[in-house]
Chain A
Amino acid sequence: MNDVERRARLEAVVREVAEPVRRYLIRRVGPFAAEDVLSDVLLACWRRIDDIPADALPWAYGVARRCLANARRAAARREQLGVRLRALEPPAVAFAAEEGDDAIAVRAALERLRVVDAEVLRLWAWEGLEAADIAVALGITPNAAAIRLHRAKSRLRAELGKDRPGSGHVEHEGMEA
């Protein structure tokens, strides 16, 4: 690619990935830190413009995952130095104006799962990825992603089952077509 082609490719990639990657980051670190990390992700895309595959989004999620890990490490180092700048924890509450009890219970159940299980479920439900793209985003094999996703779903169902009496969610068993 020459310089003009690279610039055009970057524009196309940013228009495709900026919004979904921003949401990916908001879900994991909240809206304020998400803006900073998104800049890092786009810069990484620019630096690696020759390596970006045709299906850029799952790859970009993988870049975002690594940028997020770097940001968390940097935040941990700052914290060790007694400097707390901007929180990099997952948002404790949703930002929706109105939210039902079930959404709170579901996020609480997600938090109780192992980190790897919760993450594969977020990628599946929130980022809307299937196993093959989850594999790209996590840097694992498609087979491993499919197995991990299957197990994580079972574990989340079990967790939600524990919550059922107070969850506000009503199962309509026997009513499915």
Chain B
Amino acid sequence: MDDRDLRDRLRAADPASAFDALDTERISRMIERTTAAPEPPKRKARGWWVGGAGLAAAAALAVAIVVPLTRTPEPTRLTAPGGDAASAMCMAVTPELLAERDLAFQGTVSSIADGLVTLDVERVFKGDVAPRAVVVQQDAEFADFSGTVFETGATYLVSTVGSEVAACGQSGPMSSELLALYEAAYVG
């Protein structure tokens, strides 16, 4: 069975094949209904600031704060938690552990400037994640223990505890192993 045969068989099993197409009148109504919603924000009030630096020693997670990104000259920023990396202990990363995280996404670093890492979010596994995330770059010393030092152009899997990026291997560079854990945790 070649690709064409396989595709034909799948298409013959398409559960939507019996439905008529939307007529132009219905599409016009959809447009009216959609645009009746509040005006979309004009390139502001979207995205997240993910900032901060530090590790909650007891939990051994937690390095950043997520607050709404408002791309105004004075964005709202929250204070980062402090922490003592040297006393951190990490638990094994499992799908069950990841499933407890509040946000989880895949993103590629588009820029790093002034200690802020901007990621273009490519895939959301869990939670309401905006198209862009901004993370405070970690100290290399700190990352040696449990965190991640982001690099431009690289792709990362990021999960958070509340508004804080989860460390200890729960966030990190894209790899087939970590992706498999994320998919097991969030995709099923």
Residues of A within 8 A of B (CB): 3, 6-7, 10-11, 14-15, 18-19, 22-23, 26-27, 31, 38-39, 42-43, 45-51, 66, 69-70, 91, 93-97, 100, 102-104, 106-107, 110, 115-116, 121-122, 124-126, 138-141, 153, 156-157, 160, 169, 171, 176
Contact = CB atoms under 8 A, between A and B. Distances in A.
Contacts of B31: 10-11, 14-15
B21 A96 contact: no
Interface residues of B, number: 42
Contacts of A31: 19
Contacts of A110: 10, 13
A133 to B, nearest CB: 14
Nearest to B2: A176
Given A15-B27, A46-B35, A46-B40, A139 B122 contact: yes
Interface string B72-83: 000000000000
Given A49-B40, A116-B187, A153-B3, A107 B15 contact: yes
B187 to A, nearest CB: 6
B155 interface: yes
A66 to B, nearest CB: 5
Contacts of A157: 1, 6
Contacts of A91: 15
Contacts of B39: 3
Contacts of B11: 125-126
Contacts of A11: 31
* B30, B33, B34: most-surrounded residue (chain A CB, <10 A): B34
A156 B6 contact: yes
B148 interface: no
B133 to A, nearest CB: 13
A140 B15 contact: no
